[in-house]
């Protein structure tokens, strides 16, 4: 009889639901991070509905409280690409940021820009304007810039609009972003191996970032290091070491 009572009590104990919100906030945030933080920048992509949407929606729709905690982690811990790269969305006038509700944009802390695609004729949607929604990104602190190609190199002479066309386009894009979001503190630059830090495009981007007192960091792809600088920006001009 005692054994039967023990089994019944054990069964009841196993049926008691676990209260997620009894966990400390730090543990809940860590669980959200394990589920929601992505290894690469989030972009407009046809694979998003199967890769991201089911998990995000299931969490966001669990309860109001879960949504309030989870969306801050998803939008605050991931990097979001400003202008789409996938062919289906490359010429879209509505980049990912412009499609997000204002409250989600306000939680974003890191954005990414890839420079190089469409260098002969940049898409019309690659513009910093009110429709993009950057002004709502009040928590934005980090801008990551990846340069795939610098068309000012002589090998592109027969294909480019002019030697300085794409450099000026990228400069205006970077300046527009920094002007729209003065809260940006750090600009991380990276590039493919063929791009030199002293080339016209990189030099101009560095000049503009330095002129606005942004902290400059170097990404992992190109291998540039802070302690092995081959170019510096002083008084608004680039000096090659």
Q: Is residue 115 part of a domain?
A: yes
Q: Is residue 15 part of a domain?
A: no
Q: Is residue 8 part of a domain?
A: no
Q: Is residue 6 part of a domain?
A: no
SS3 annotation, the chain: CHHHHHHHHHHHHHHCCCCHHHCCHHHHHHHHHHHHCCCCCECCCCCHHHHCHHHHHHHHCCCHHHHHHHHHHHHHHCEEECCCCCCCCCCCCCCHHHHCCHHHHCCCCEEEEEECCCCCCCCCCCCCCHHHCHHHCCCCCEEEEEECCCCCCHHHCCCCCCCCHHHHHHHHHHHHHHHHCCCCCEEEEEECCCCCCCCHHHHHHHHHHHHCCCEEEECCCCCCCHHHCCEEEECCEEEEC
Q: Is residue 11 part of a domain?
A: no
Q: Is residue 13 part of a domain?
A: no
The range of the structural domain enclosing residue 165 comes to 21-240
pLDDT given for residue 127 in this prediction? 94
The pLDDT profile of the chain, 241 residues, written as one tens digit per residue, is 555 555 555 555 566 777 899 999 999 999 999 999 999 999 999 988 888 888 888 899 999 999 999 999 999 999 999 999 999 999 999 999 999 999 999 999 999 999 999 899 999 999 999 999 999 999 999 999 999 998 887 777 767 777 789 999 999 999 999 999 999 999 999 999 999 999 999 999 999 999 999 999 999 999 887 654 444 444 444 433 3
- The count of structural domains within the chain is 1
Q: Is residue 123 part of a domain?
A: yes
Q: Is residue 1 part of a domain?
A: no
């Amino acid at each position: 009889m005692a054994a039967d009572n023990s089994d019944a009590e054990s069964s009841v104990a196993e049926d008691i639901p676990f209260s997620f919100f009894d966990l400390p906030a730090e543990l809940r945030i860590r669980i959200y991070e394990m589920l929601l933080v992505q290894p690469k920048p989030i972009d407009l992509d046809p694979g998003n509905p199967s890769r991201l949407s089911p998990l995000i929606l299931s969490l966001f729709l669990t309860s109001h409280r879960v949504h309030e905690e989870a969306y801050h982690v998803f939008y605050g811990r991931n990097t979001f690409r400003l202008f789409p790269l996938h062919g289906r969305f490359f010429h879209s006038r509505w980049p990912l940021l412009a499609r997000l509700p204002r409250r989600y944009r306000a939680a974003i802390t890191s954005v990414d820009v890839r420079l190089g695609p469409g260098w002969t004729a940049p898409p019309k949607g690659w513009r910093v304007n009110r429709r993009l929604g950057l002004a709502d990104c009040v928590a934005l602190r980090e801008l990551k810039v990846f340069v795939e190609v610098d068309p000012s190199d002589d090998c592109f002479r027969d294909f480019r609009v002019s030697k300085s066309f794409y450099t000026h386009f990228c400069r205006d894009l970077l300046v527009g972003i920094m002007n729209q979001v003065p809260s940006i503190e750090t600009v991380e630059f990276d590039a493919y191996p063929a791009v030199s830090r002293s080339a016209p495009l990189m030099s101009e981007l560095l000049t503009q970032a330095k002129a606005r007192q942004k902290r400059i960091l170097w990404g992992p792809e190109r291998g540039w290091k802070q302690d092995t600088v081959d170019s510096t920006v002083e008084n608004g001009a680039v000096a090659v070491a």
